[in-house]
Amino acid sequence: MTTDHRFSTDWSEAELSILRDLWAAGMSTRLIGVELGRSRNSVVGKAHRLLLPPRPSHIGRKRGEPLPPPRPRPVVVRVRLRPVQIASLGRRPPAPPPPAPPGPPQAPQAGQDTCQWPVSDDRPWRFCGAAVAASGCPYCTTHMAVAWHRPPRRLEAA
């Protein structure tokens, strides 16, 4: 049976039956393709989609060394839904939207007289709250020393 299938991707039941028989007989994929008028790649792809057992590999074998038996494929259970079940899938309510991420922390208000140094990583953020060191400065004396420090003296001389 040599039909030109270069432009057809459909497989007839007769072709599938021949493919299964020749695959089980151990014929090479190239010869199966010649027999069916298909390319080797289309034969391999169809065999894979039909879950036919894989062929043992010849790579790394010495000449005359027997091939191990093919590994059995895992059993795949395919569930066929009835039309009523398929129709009911479309009637599910949509999933609720995910919760909105928490907003950024409140920016310090201009003119506040408390230290704005953050003291926690969890939301909502907490701030030091001590009295500020000087007017217009956002930090207390302790946190001012951490935030702004003088460069080492050797750098001042340079």
Q: What is the 3-state secondary structure (H, E, C) of 21-40?
A: HHHHHCCCHHHHHHHHCCCH
> Would the pTM count as exceeding 0.85?
no
What single string gives the DSSP state of each residue in 81-119? PPHHHHHHHTTSPPPPPPPPPPPPPPPPPTT--B---B-
- pLDDT value at position 47? 92
Residues in the chain: 158
Query: Contact, 37 vs 2, CB < 8 A?
Result: yes
Nearest to 137 by CA among 94, 103, 108: 108
Regions of the chain with pLDDT less than 70: 1-8, 56-58, 60, 68, 70-71, 73-74, 84, 86-88, 90-94, 103-112, 151, 154-158
- Report helix, strand or coil for 20: helix
Instruction: Give the whole-angstrom CA distance, residue 134 versus residue 59.
Output: 79
In this prediction, residue 3 carries a pLDDT of: 55
